[in-house]
C-alpha cells in the first residue's frame, strides 16, 4: 500500500494537468518530484538544461517508473539520460569558419540561428516538451537560448532589415501576433515556463520597423494585436485605487497611472530553480533568526509570504530583461534585497508611451480619428507623468521611481536614456542627460549599464547591444550626433576586437576594460548572438566609416 501511495504522489501532477488541458504546463508541474530532485541535486550545471529536455517516451510511463525505482542505490543521472533527450548543443559549435568581415559573418549566421516553423494541429499540447510551437520561422539569440525571445527580437530585426530579410521580419511579427492572440500577451520566450510574464514591450516598434519597409498598411494589419498587448499591460487600470499597485499598473497618490514589471507567478522559476531556491532559503533563514512570533504556524506563514515576495521580485526582474541589476536592489548591491515590483521603471513607461503613440497612429491611418485622439491623450498623460516622477533637475538625469518609498532611485543607469529614445525629453533635459551620461556611463567600449560592480550581468563592467542602440538613437533624436558617433565607434571597435580574437559575437561585453571578458550573472556569457548581430549591422549602416 505504501508503494502504491508513493506512485500516486509522483503521478499526481499529471492528474492536475489533465484537468486543465488548455493550459500548457511547465516542467515543474509535469514532472513534480522528479523535477525538484533533478534541479536541486544539480544533475546539470545549467538549470535551464532539464527544462529544455524532451521525453523519449510517454510522460506517464516515466513518472510511474520513477516512483517504482527511486530508492537506495538509484542513479538519478542515468535515469534522466535514459528517459530524456538533451537539448541540442549551441548552434555556433557547428559553425566553425569565421569570416574576416564581421558583417558577412552575421549574414551567414542568420541561417544558423533560424528555426523552422514547429507548429501543427497535432502539437498543440506540449507532450512533455516546454517548447511553445510557433507558426512561422524565427531567429533565436544563440547559445543556451534555443527559443525566440521577445525584446531581443526587435534588435535582431534591425540587422535582418539590413540583410534584406523582410520576409523573416514579417514572420516574426506574425509569430508575436499569434502569441498575443493565443496567450493574451507576448511571453518572455516561447517556452511554457515563460508564460507567466512578458518582456519589455517592443512589439509596436517591430510593427513600426516593418511599416517602414512595407508601408502604412502594416499599422492597420497589426492594430488589433497592439491593442491586445496594451490591454495586457493596463489590466486593472479601471479599478485600481490610489496609492496601490495591481498587476502591471501602479496608481500613485495623486491619481497618476504608470506601470511596473510584474510576474503573475510567485513560485521558483523552473529554468533557474536551484539558484532561486538557494537564494530564497537564505533570505527566509536570515529572517527566521531575526523575528519573534507567537506560534510556529505564524512563523511558517511569514516565511512563506517572504518566499513568494522574493520570487515575485526575481520573476519581475526577468520580465524587465535586466536580470539581474542593482537598479532592482534596495541596497544597490545584493540580490537578496531585490524589490523590482516596487519600482516604476523609466524605460518600461517610455516603451508604453511609444505603444500608445503607435496605436494612435494606427487608428488614424485606419480612419478611427476619435479613438486615435484618445490614445494620443493617454500618451501625453504618460509623458507628463514620466517627466514629473522620473526627471531629476538637480542631477540632470532620468531615474526610476520607487512607488513603495515614494521617492526616486538614486542610481544612474542606462535606462535613463530611454526618454531621449522615445522623444519625451525637452531639449534642455536632453542636454543635461547627455552631460551626465558622458560623465558617468560612457566607457572605453561604449555605453555602460550601471556603475555598480555587484557581480550581476546587468551591472558594471558590462555593456549590452540594445542599450547602445537606445542611447545612440536617443542622442541622434536631439542632434547630439557627435556623442552618438562616439558611442557607436567605441562599441563597434570592441565588437570587432573580440571577433578578431575569437571569431564570435557575444551576448554582452566588458566596456570598462576592453581587454577582459564580460561576466556575472547565473550562466556563462553566450555567443551567437541575435541582438548583438542586429545592432552591429544597423550601426554599420548609420556609421559606415566607424
Report the catalytic residues. Answer: 323, 507
Which string of DSSP letters, residue by residue, matches 403-471? TTTTEE-----GGGGHHHHTT-S-HHHHHHHHHHHHHHTEETTEE-S-S--SS-TTSTTEE-HHHHHHH
Q: 432, exposed or middle or buried, with CB in 10 Å at 0-12, 13-18, 19+? A: buried
Residues with Cβ within 8 Å of 41's Cβ and at least 6 positions away in sequence, in order, are 76
| 391/371 Cα distance (integer angstroms) | 30
119 three-state secondary structure: coil
Cβ atoms of residues 137 and 116 within 8 Å = yes
* Contacting residues for 275 by C-beta, under 8 A, at least 6 apart: 47, 522
Question: What letter would DSSP give residue 528?
Answer: S
State the DSSP code for 193.
Answer: G
d(CA 129, CA 52): 7
**Widest distance between CA atoms in the chain:** 77
In terms of Cα–Cα distance, which of 273, 189, 263 is closest to 522? Answer: 273
Ramachandran angles phi, psi of 2, nearest 5°? -60, -40
Beta bridge partners of 138: 115
Look up residue 54 and give its three cell numbers: 524532451
DSSP 3-state percent helix, strand, coil across the chain (nearest 5): 55, 10, 35
Q: Which residues of 494-531 are buried (b: 16+ CB within 10 A; e: fewer)?
A: bbeebbeeebbbbbbbbbbebeeebebbbbebbbbbbb
- DSSP structure class, residue 43: S
* Torsion 88-91-97-98 (CA) sign: negative
Packed helices 530-542 and 150-162: angle between N→C axes, nearest 10 degrees: 40
135 three-state secondary structure: coil
Residue 399: CB atoms within 10 A of its CB come to 22
Which residues does residue 139 pair with via DSSP β-bridges, in sequence order? Answer: 114
CB count within 10 Å of CB 405 equals 12
Burial class (CB in 10 A: 0-12, 13-18, 19+), 341: buried
Amino acid at each position: 500500500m505504501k508503494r502504491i501511495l508513493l506512485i500516486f504522489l509522483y503521478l499526481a501532477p499529471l492528474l492536475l494537468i489533465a484537468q486543465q488541458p488548455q493550459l500548457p504546463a511547465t516542467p515543474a508541474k509535469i514532472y513534480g518530484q522528479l523535477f525538484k530532485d533533478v534541479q536541486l541535486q544539480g544533475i546539470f550545471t545549467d538549470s535551464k538544461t532539464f527544462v529544455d529536455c524532451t521525453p523519449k517516451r510517454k510522460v506517464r510511463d516515466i513518472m510511474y517508473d520513477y516512483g517504482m525505482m527511486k530508492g537506495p542505490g538509484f542513479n538519478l543521472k542515468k535515469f534522466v539520460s535514459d528517459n530524456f533527450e538533451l537539448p541540442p548543443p549551441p548552434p555556433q559549435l557547428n559553425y566553425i569558419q569565421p569570416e574576416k568581415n564581421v558583417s558577412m559573418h552575421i549574414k551567414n549566421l542568420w541561417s544558423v540561428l533560424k528555426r523552422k516553423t514547429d507548429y501543427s494541429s497535432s502539437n498543440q499540447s506540449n507532450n512533455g516538451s516546454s517548447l511553445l510551437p510557433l507558426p512561422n520561422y524565427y531567429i533565436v539569440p544563440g547559445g543556451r537560448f534555443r527559443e525566440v525571445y521577445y525584446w531581443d527580437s526587435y534588435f535582431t530585426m534591425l540587422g535582418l532589415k539590413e540583410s534584406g530579410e523582410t520576409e523573416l521580419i514579417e514572420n516574426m511579427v506574425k509569430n508575436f501576433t499569434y502569441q498575443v492572440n493565443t496567450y493574451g500577451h507576448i511571453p518572455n520566450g516561447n517556452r511554457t515556463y515563460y508564460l507567466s510574464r512578458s518582456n519589455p514591450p517592443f512589439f509596436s516598434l517591430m510593427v513600426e520597423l516593418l511599416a517602414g519597409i512595407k508601408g502604412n498598411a502594416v499599422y492597420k494589419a497589426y492594430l488589433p494585436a497592439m491593442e491586445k498587448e496594451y490591454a495586457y499591460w493596463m489590466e486593472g487600470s479601471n479599478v485600481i485605487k490610489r496609492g496601490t499597485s495591481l498587476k502591471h499598473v501602479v496608481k500613485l497618490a495623486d491619481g497618476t497611472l504608470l506601470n511596473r514589471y510584474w510576474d503573475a507567478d510567485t513560485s521558483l522559476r523552473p529554468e533557474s530553480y536551484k539558484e532561486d531556491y538557494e537564494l530564497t532559503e537564505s533570505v527566509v533563514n536570515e529572517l527566521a533568526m531575526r523575528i519573534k512570533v507567537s506560534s510556529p504556524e505564524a512563523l511558517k506563514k511569514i516565511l512563506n509570504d517572504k518566499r513568494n515576495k522574493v520570487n515575485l521580485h526575481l520573476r519581475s526582474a526577468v520580465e524587465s530583461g535586466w536580470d539581474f541589476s542593482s537598479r532592482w536592489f534596495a541596497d544597490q548591491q545584493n540580490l537578496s534585497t531585490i524589490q523590482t515590483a516596487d519600482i516604476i521603471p523609466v524605460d518600461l513607461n517610455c516603451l508604453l508611451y511609444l505603444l500608445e503613440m503607435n496605436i494612435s497612429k494606427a487608428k488614424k491611418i485606419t480612419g478611427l480619428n476619435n479613438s486615435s485622439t484618445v490614445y494620443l491623450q493617454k500618451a501625453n498623460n504618460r509623458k507628463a507623468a514620466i517627466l514629473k516622477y522620473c526627471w531629476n533637475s538637480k542631477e540632470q538625469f532620468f531615474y526610476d521611481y520607487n512607488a513603495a518609498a515614494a521617492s526616486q532611485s538614486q542610481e544612474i543607469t542606462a535606462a535613463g536614456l530611454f526618454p531621449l529614445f522615445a522623444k519625451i525629453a525637452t531639449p534642455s533635459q536632453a542636454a543635461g542627460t547627455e552631460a551626465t551620461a558622458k560623465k558617468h556611463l560612457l566607457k572605453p567600449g561604449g555605453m555602460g549599464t550601471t556603475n555598480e560592480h555587484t557581480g550581476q550581468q546587468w551591472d558594471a563592467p558590462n555593456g549590452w547591444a540594445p542599450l547602445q542602440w537606445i542611447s545612440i538613437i536617443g542622442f541622434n533624436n536631439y542632434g547630439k550626433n557627435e556623442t552618438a558617433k562616439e558611442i557607436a565607434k567605441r562599441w563597434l571597435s570592441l565588437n570587432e576586437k573580440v571577433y578578431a580574437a575569437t571569431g564570435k559575437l557575444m551576448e554582452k561585453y566588458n566596456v570598462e576594460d576592453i581587454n577582459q571578458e564580460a561576466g556575472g550573472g547565473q550562466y556563462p556569457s553566450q555567443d551567437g548572438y541575435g541582438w548583438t548581430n542586429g545592432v552591429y549591422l544597423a550601426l554599420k549602416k548609420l556609421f559606415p566609416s566607424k
